[in-house]
Amino acid sequence: MDTVTARMRLEHMLAQLDRSIAILRRDALTGWDRSPADAGAVLTDADRSLAMLEAAGEQRRTVLAALRRLDEGVYGRCADCGHAVPEGRLEARPEAARCVQCQSRRERRR
């Protein structure tokens, strides 16, 4: 994937994430504001929104990091082993910072 396409897709992802973060943030806030009568259900909703908000924020950081790698001219290289990340992987996940091997090694370590 050429860097122009990659940047376009990443910026598109960023715009979408910003939109869902705005919606989730609003949902989380209205959840907390509602009457204490149904606080139980509302808290669960707000908790879910907060969890999704956290995941979206995490993804947003990943996309921003990928855009930074584009700026630095190292986009498409694995952040761990330095080898080229396969084209198919970047097609599926343009924000991927690592090749499949390094990514799964990293996830196993958690």
The site for Zn ion (CB under 5 A) is made up of 78, 80-81, 99, 102
What residues have CB less than 8 Å from 56, skipping those under 6 apart?
17, 20, 21, 24
Q: Contact, 6 vs 92, CB < 8 A?
A: no
| φ/ψ (deg, to 5) at 46 | -65, -40
The residue (of 10 and 78) whose beta carbon lies closer to Zn ion is 78
CB of 82 to Zn ion, least distance (A): 7
Cα separation of 109 and 103, whole Å?
10
CB of 25 to Zn ion, least distance (A): 35
What residues have CB less than 8 Å from 53, skipping those under 6 apart?
21, 24, 25, 28
The residue (of 70 and 78) whose beta carbon lies closer to Zn ion is 78
The residue (of 14 and 79) whose beta carbon lies closer to Zn ion is 79
Cα separation of 21 and 53, whole Å?
6
The residue (of 27 and 80) whose beta carbon lies closer to Zn ion is 80
CB of 76 to Zn ion, least distance (A): 12
CB of 89 to Zn ion, least distance (A): 11
